[in-house]
Amino acid sequence: MRMNGTKVRWAVVGSGGIGKRTVGDLRLCDNAEVVAIGSRSRASADAFAQEHQLPLAFDDHAQLCASPDIDAVYIGTPHATHFALASQALRAGKHVLCEKPLTMTADEARELGRIAAAHHVFLMEAMWMKFSPAMQKAVELVAQGAIGEPRFLQAGLGYPVPPDGPKRFWDAALGGGALYDMGVYTITLAQMFLGELAEISVTGCMRPDGVDLEEAITLRYAGGALAQLATSITCLVPPRGWLGGSRGAIDFQQPLFSPGGLTVTTGRPPAPPEVQELKFAREGAGYVPMFRAVNVAILAGATEHPLHPVSATAAVLDIMQRIQAALARERDAIAA
């Protein structure tokens, strides 16, 4: 549905830290206006609205979705709540941008895509990494053949989460674990550059309740390329990675989900390599390029964004489901 006006009016769903960063970065976009907060608690909603000077506050998601003063919602709640909240908003005619992972299963993501298309509204997982200037430059360099054929990618992301840390990490009912919170970035990165997936192998540690603590993942692609990925909620895995090609390599500087720069190395031994350092300024907390692009797409009447369509989200979720199943089999085999 093509919108009138030059700004998208946003409601933020979830009054935690993600919601606060969202408000700040949306306000840095000329094509956005933040007008509302949605929370499970009236007190939390009112406090958030007062702190961020928002005119509307809701403790009922149905009422938020029914508001004529809201065009789009940003969902920043725990993973397992995403499908229900997003589907309700889409059916009410609201555009939806949702924290990763979009849903807990690939089938749920595809269903949301069908709902969005049927109601002529926009839907996207908030994979801000893809929209960062550094990552966009990396995509451009690979497309230009700067490092030759991409053949090998390594990436990691993890940190020790204390037992009394955010429940989304430790509660299986909320989608807890390392894979869905952090591994989604490394898998998405591999999918961006390496083509059609052929094989998955993984080893790691999963608790009896299904919460995965860490994993080492190898993805083999149809063209022979490989990705080695690591994530954890029990130890520090530096948030960075690199992509090796037949003529050079790209090193993604920290943090992987919003790189501050790239190191591009080209050449063949024994000749000395040519090294290029590229730096990129960060806008706000790093969400701004994604928000700006999503606003443009919504105002143009698009139902998804070509940089991160629902099909790409569903493909990553399918991989994560297969990894989870493999970890569960490994856990059960050890227990037996």
Angle at alpha carbon of residue 176, lines to 175 and 179, rounded to 5°: 95
Catalytic residue list contains 100: yes
Beta strands 32-38 and 56-58: pairing type? parallel
Specify whether the CB–CB gap between 78 and 65 falls below 8 A: no
Question: What would the two tokens of residue 190 be?
Answer: 């591999």
Could you tell me the sign of the dihedral formed by the alpha carbons of 315, 282, 229, 173, in that order?
A: negative
Rounded Cα distance between 258 and 134, Å, is 8
Of 7, 20, 94, 100, the catalytic one is 100
Rounded Cα distance between 124 and 113, Å, is 9
Which burial class, exposed, middle or buried, applies to 309 when counting CB atoms under 10 A from its CB (0-12, 13-18, 19+)? middle
Which burial class, exposed, middle or buried, applies to 270 when counting CB atoms under 10 A from its CB (0-12, 13-18, 19+)? exposed
Catalytic residue IDs: 100
